[in-house]
């Protein structure tokens, strides 16, 4: 009787093996958090040796950084696609919010990897970089809005900084809503998008039309005379 041969391990190219390790890292970090996981756990999840991981990544921090970059690239691609499909500023914002929340809905592990360990000192710099990129993408989308009105710089200050400020507000508000929705996933995504639009767009629409707090105060003062 001939001895049974062992099933050979599936051969992969280096990029394929790297992707497999990243997928395993996403699953382990989502369960245990960055600080709570180890390269041994990631290796076990991927079905490889720890030594093989070191052939692709120098450290857990480098592995996590590449994972952040992978997820951030996907989110940014979704947001930028909105610039090509929305005919108006409102459509572009709605499509962007929906694209972001669809990412949260479709890949909960990725969302946890991106923001669960935001206070960990080892990765706070990398996370800050991703969030800064997100604000930049949102600001660029706002700048290319066909409905946007340029503001008087003597009233609003530097235009680029003004856009960045609004982008920061939008990014922070939507991220906070996504955190809440993660724990209340019975609420339909469409309902969450509607609430974000009510909060963000109604104010932005008034600003886009040229209204400001200064002009609103002036109008209120005139009405009292």
pLDDT in tens, the chain (225 residues): 444 444 345 677 888 899 999 999 988 988 888 888 899 999 999 999 999 999 999 998 899 888 888 888 888 888 888 777 877 777 888 888 899 899 889 888 778 777 665 556 767 777 788 888 888 888 877 777 656 655 544 444 566 787 788 888 888 888 889 989 988 989 999 999 998 888 877 766 666 666 665 665 666 666 666
Residue 10: per-residue pLDDT = 62
Which contacts qualify for 140-147: CB closer than 8 Å, 24 or more apart? 141/79, 141/80, 141/82, 141/83, 141/92, 141/96, 142/166, 142/167, 144/83, 145/89, 145/92, 145/208, 146/87, 146/88, 146/89, 147/88, 147/89, 147/90, 147/208
Identify which of 96, 82, 98, 93 has the alpha carbon closest to the alpha carbon of residue 208.
93
pTM of the model: 0.73
Report helix angle 89-106 to 124-143, nearest 10. 150
Q: Determine how many CB atoms are found less than 10 A away from the CB of residue 50.
A: 13
Residue 207: per-residue pLDDT = 60
Residue 42: per-residue pLDDT = 94
Residue 47 falls in which region: left (phi positive, over 0), alpha (psi -120 to 50) or beta: left
Residue 44 falls in which region: left (phi positive, over 0), alpha (psi -120 to 50) or beta: alpha
Residue 152: per-residue pLDDT = 45
Residue 169: per-residue pLDDT = 87
Residue 3: per-residue pLDDT = 46
Please give the Cα distance from 94 to 73 (Å, whole number).
20
Residue 201: per-residue pLDDT = 77
Answer whether 219's CB lies under 8 Å from 158's CB: no
Residue 5: per-residue pLDDT = 42
Answer whether 26's CB lies under 8 Å from 113's CB: yes
């Amino acid at each position: 009787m001939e001895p049974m041969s062992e099933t050979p391990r599936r051969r992969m190219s280096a990029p394929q093996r790297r992707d497999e390790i990243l997928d395993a890292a996403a699953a382990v970090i989502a369960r245990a958090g960055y600080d709570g996981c180890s390269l041994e756990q990631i290796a076990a999840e991927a079905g490889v040796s720890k030594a093989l991981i070191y052939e692709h990544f120098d450290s857990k921090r480098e592995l996590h950084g590449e994972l952040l970059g992978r997820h951030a690239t996907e989110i940014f691609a979704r947001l930028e696609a909105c610039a090509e499909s929305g005919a108006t500023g409102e459509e572009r914002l709605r499509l962007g919010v929906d694209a972001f929340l669809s990412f949260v809905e479709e890949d909960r592990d990725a969302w946890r990897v991106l923001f669960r360990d935001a206070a960990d000192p080892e990765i706070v710099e990398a996370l800050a970089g991703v969030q800064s990129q997100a604000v930049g993408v949102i600001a660029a989308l706002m700048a290319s809005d066909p409905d946007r009105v340029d503001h008087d710089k003597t009233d609003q200050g530097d235009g680029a900084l003004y856009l960045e400020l609004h982008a920061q507000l939008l990014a922070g508000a939507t991220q906070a809503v996504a955190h809440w929705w993660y724990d209340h996933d019975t609420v339909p995504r469409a309902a969450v998008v509607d609430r974000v639009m009510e909060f963000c767009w109604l104010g932005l629409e008034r600003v886009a039309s040229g209204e400001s707090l200064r002009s609103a105060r002036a109008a209120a003062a005139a009405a009292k005379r």
